[in-house]
Structure 1
Amino acid sequence: MITLDTVTSSKDGTTITYHRLGTGPGLVLLHGAMQTGHSNIELAQALSTDFTCYVPDRRGRGRSGPAGPDYGLQREVEDLDALLTATGAHHVAGVSSGAIIALRTALARPELRKVVAFEPPLDIDGSNPTGWLDRFDREIAAGRIPAALVTGMRATRMGPPIFNVMPRALLELLTAMMVKNQDKAANGGEPTFRDLAPTLHNDAQIVAETSGDLEVYGAVSAEVLLLGGTKSPAYLRSALTALQRVLPRARRVDLAGLGHSATSNAAMRGNPERVAEEIRRFLTTP
């Protein structure tokens, strides 16, 4: 059974809504960019036989409160810290930008025992620059959602290789058609790209805030599973390699044939059962 509950972030009073399911030790699943908690609900279901899974909507998304005027990495860390305190969970699995938040929370919360970091998009020596944000923000402000999505997709290298050579006008047209079709098919479960597009700014802000500070993760005391897919962009795989050198208690698993969407629900090209196998193995190994 899946239930809904809320926790209040202690610093600014923002309400964070989360799904709860399963039985066993507590595990928070923290989603990444262009997602809400529902985007990883099938991963939570696959883990729910062994863990009590808490799956929040990060601030500014889904049922949770707004990002707020003082949004930044610190607010996200405060939200996760409040959820961990309220639930008593000692494990976190973070996806993409959610993995950055999980690792930074581990720095602030030494009692966190184990962290799964799925492809944190760290900017290491310019590997993931965020200079595209100005253009993205202008397109969002003008209501040009497809154009903004194309800007973000190209910058983060999340589309297939052909997207890099396809004329931008054609790519925007195809994206507009995709957004329109998704709007028609929306069923109140999976979030739509139109709804989530503005939140991509927040995820890029987290990347920008943590650019160039790789060495701070050397102070993480939690055990960390660095998880990624062999089909993901090179800069994400390189970030895992860099973290592997710095983190004092880390192991790494590369999921053959999977990409950055691996943790997502099956309808979004994810493989939650495969990802759950590795998370379960890591969390249950003494």
Structure 2
Amino acid sequence: MAGTTSADGTLISYDRTGTGPALILVLGAFNDRGAGAALAERLSSDFTVYNYDRRGRGRSGDAPGSGVDQEIDDLSALLAEAGGNALVFGYSSGAVLALRAAARGLPITRLAVYDPPFLVNGSTPAYWTALADRIDALVADDRRGDAVELYQTRGVGMPEEVVVQLRGAPFRPALEAMAHTLAYDARALASPADLPATVSIPTLVLHGVDGPPVLSGATQAVAQALPNGEYLGLVGQTHDLVPEVLGPVLCDFYGGALTAGQRGRLT
């Protein structure tokens, strides 16, 4: 484990594995770097992979008033740590954060995003901002469990009965520990509608075709709006990260081209 210091002095911890071009993983809500460990291992034969804890999670620090700007600063610090520029892979809300960083002009050379929940189900930036404010209020009242369940239902779209069943899950304390960071995710998703059109670097939008249907339209809309974007639907995949499937696709994309067989799976 290593670390770098963000612009506001916050320590951002990461694991660095492998050799080759630098590749940074930006994970989503409820994720620390443990969620990306298997994918990092799969990619480490081709890349130097930086798998980090976003601020407020795992072993990374945090600071009052953190939000999108500070998280983009964190990624900027990692890019400097990686040599000044890097490939980036973003997952779920981390995918939208990565898009926002690319739009800000961070030195990302090629970007792949998996299931970016961009303005899903008719939601608006105002919807996500209001959700973030409600999460902040619940955390301030020490109602972290309620904040977790609010994001699960209003952010992720999980059915109420499933949320209730998960209250006793062994990983529930870990979710509550990072409950305050859910406001960071919600504010990342409060992105302007023209965000994809402002990202000019080569970008691959991946979608797990057998995952939540609401993400199908969102991912295709992002790909269509990107000036230099491609869309790849992964048949048989859900919203979960499966290294055996993602590894070959990412290697080919970051190398400059998808194979004819992979393009045949475009939907």
CA RMSD of aligned residues (A): 2.4
Q: Distance in 2 between matches of 1:141 and 1:258?
A: 38
Secondary structure of 1:12's match?
A: coil
Amino acid at match of 2:253: F
Amino acid at match of 1:71: S
Alignment of structure 1 residues 72-83 onto 2, 5 Å = 72-83=67-78
Measure how far apart 1:8 and its partner are. Answer: 1.1
Q: Distance in 2 between matches of 1:133 and 1:75?
A: 16
Q: Distance in 1 between matches of 2:156 and 2:141?
A: 23
Aligned residues: 253
TM-score (norm 2): 0.85
Measure how far apart 1:133 and its partner are. Answer: 4.4
Q: Distance in 2 between matches of 1:207 and 1:43?
A: 24
Structure 1 window deviating more from structure 2 (14-23 vs 134-143): it is 134-143
Q: Partner residue of 1:154?
A: 153
Secondary structure of 1:106's match?
A: helix
Q: Distance in 2 between matches of 1:284 and 1:245?
A: 22
2:13 pairs with 12, 17, 27, which one?
Answer: 17
Q: Partner residue of 1:56?
A: 52
Q: Is the 8 A contact 1:8 1:15 kept in 2?
A: yes
Report whether the alignment pairs 1:175 with 2:174: no
- Which structure 1 segments of 5+ residues have no match? 184-190, 264-270
Q: Distance in 2 between matches of 1:70 and 1:146?
A: 21
Q: Distance in 1 between matches of 2:137 and 2:227?
A: 41
Q: Partner residue of 2:248?
A: 277
Secondary structure of 2:19's match?
A: coil
Calculate percent identity across the aligned residue pairs: 34
Q: Partner residue of 1:252?
A: 231
Q: Distance in 2 between matches of 1:108 and 1:229?
A: 27
1:238 pairs with 201, 217, 231, which one?
Answer: 217
Q: Is the 8 A contact 1:146 1:175 kept in 2?
A: no
Report whether the alignment pairs 1:205 with 2:187: yes
Q: Partner residue of 1:85?
A: 80
Q: Distance in 2 between matches of 1:72 and 1:194?
A: 18
Q: Distance in 1 between matches of 2:177 and 2:233?
A: 31
Amino acid at match of 1:80: L
Q: Distance in 2 between matches of 1:124 and 1:182?
A: 27
Report whether the alignment pairs 1:6 with 2:16: no
- Which structure 2 segments of 5+ residues have no match? 258-267
Report whether the alignment pairs 1:227 with 2:206: yes
**Which string of whole-angstrom CA distances, capped at 9 and with x for unpartnered residues, describes residues 152-183 of structure 1?**
21113453xxx25x4xxx953x23211xx336
Q: Partner residue of 2:265?
A: none
Q: Distance in 1 between matches of 2:252 and 2:51?
A: 20
Q: Is the 8 A contact 2:155 2:186 kept in 1?
A: no
TM-score (norm 1): 0.79
Measure how far apart 1:45 and its partner are. Answer: 0.3
